[in-house]
Structure 1
Amino acid sequence: MVQIPLPDPDATEALGVRLARHRPPAAVAYLRGDLGAGKSTLARALLRSLGVTGTIRSPTYTLVERYPLADDGEAWHLDLYRIADAGELEYLGLDADGVTLWLVEWAERGGGALPPADLVVELRVEGAGRQARLVPASEAGGAWVDAVRTETVEPSVAPPS
């Protein structure tokens, strides 16, 4: 587990970039946090970093948005806030063939109908900013968190002048 302060939206976007850079070939990330905690901002930055072009919509009303990735995989961004029962997911046609990245907001509402998480990203409002907590939930998730942690704590080396 690693905690990362996110003092502004740019920091949230930078975390999305780091998560994209170290993403396993196939991954499931649950994005947790209250409304307005930055889940969609993080997802947008992550998807953009994986080569998604065009509009990246929040799936608040559509429940799922699908995006082709630059590496020929597909990402699904789900927002389950508006579902009342996990059985409703059956009607979404969640056939996982070709899906290499799942980003799931409000995953707790999906019950056992979702693939298990590799990584849980917990976002919370803290003062004027946010705080992210990355919690691995699988071996692949542990490697993912370790890679992000290493990049986060290692100082950048300035080029020689």
Structure 2
Amino acid sequence: MPQALTLDLPDEAATANLAARVGRLLRPGDVVALSGDLGAGKSAFARHLIRGLGDAEEEVPSPTFTLVQTYDLPGYTLWHFDLYRLTEPDEVLELGWEEVIHDGVALVEWPTRLGPRLPADRLELDLAITGPDSRRATLTGHGAWASRLGRGFEP
């Protein structure tokens, strides 16, 4: 049964803190599905997560045009996908999807574009705009992520 948690993020620092907490839970084979309206902070969350796990000064561009960016981090390669421009789920295979779901970590913006390729074991993060700088994050752990989510966010 999925495990869900909702957090208010009053500012960018709170988003960075959430990214750090999620980053500590990641392991090879993980998929983090990032959802939310345009401008909700999906790419900002990804940028904080990637910099927190690797080089804090690393340039982390949005993969809107390249569709995927990769980052060699300690223990695995992180793949940041933006699937907004995909028209069918099988197009993700051309981007290295099968490799990442076995050996890397995938951050996926617009995960609904994966259709049936969206793994059952995943962390969903939905970001909603609640003010000029504030967001509401709803995290839902599916499969193995259900118990990991609970352990990673205990007070």
Establish whether TM, by shorter chain, passes 0.5.
yes
| Partner of residue 106 from structure 1, selected from 93, 107, 110 | 110
| Partner of residue 132 from structure 1, selected from 130, 137, 141 | 137
Q: Could you tell me whether the CA contact under 8 Å between 1:52 and 1:67 is conserved in 2?
A: no
1:39 matched residue in structure 2: 42
Q: How far 1:144 moved relative to its partner?
A: 2.7
Task: Give the counterpart letter for 2:139 in structure 1.
Answer: L
2:20 matched residue in structure 1: 17
1:4 matched residue in structure 2: 7
Q: How far 1:33 moved relative to its partner?
A: 0.5
- 5+ unaligned residues in a row in structure 1: which ranges? 155-161
What do the CA deviations read for 1:106-155 (whole angstroms, capped 9, x no partner)? 0101223444442100111113310000101112x1233113321xxx2x
Using a 3 Å threshold, how does the CA distance of structure 1 residues 87 and 31 change in structure 2: closer, same or farther? same
Please provide the CA RMSD for this pair.
1.9
Select the structure of larger CA radius of gyration. Answer: 1
**2: distance between equivalents of 1:25 and 1:81?**
24
Q: Could you tell me whether the CA contact under 8 Å between 1:85 and 1:110 is conserved in 2?
A: yes
**2: distance between equivalents of 1:142 and 1:24?**
15
Q: How far 1:104 moved relative to its partner?
A: 0.4
What do the CA deviations read for 1:86-118 (whole angstroms, capped 9, x no partner)? 232233243416632110010101223444442
Task: Give the counterpart letter for 1:120 in structure 2.
Answer: E
1:85 matched residue in structure 2: 88
**SS of the residue 1:147 aligns to:** helix
Q: Percent identity?
A: 38
**2: distance between equivalents of 1:109 and 1:25?**
22
**SS of the residue 1:96 aligns to:** helix
Task: Give the counterpart letter for 2:124 in structure 1.
Answer: V
Larger RCO, structures 1/2 (Cα 8 Å, 6+ apart): 2
Say how many residue pairs are matched.
149
Shift >6 Å, 4+ stretches: none
Task: Give the counterpart letter for 2:94 in structure 1.
Answer: Y
Q: How high is the TM-score relative to the length of structure 1? A: 0.83
Q: Does 1:51 align with 2:54?
A: yes
Task: Give the counterpart letter for 2:34 in structure 1.
Answer: L
2:99 matched residue in structure 1: 96
Q: How high is the TM-score relative to the length of structure 2? A: 0.86
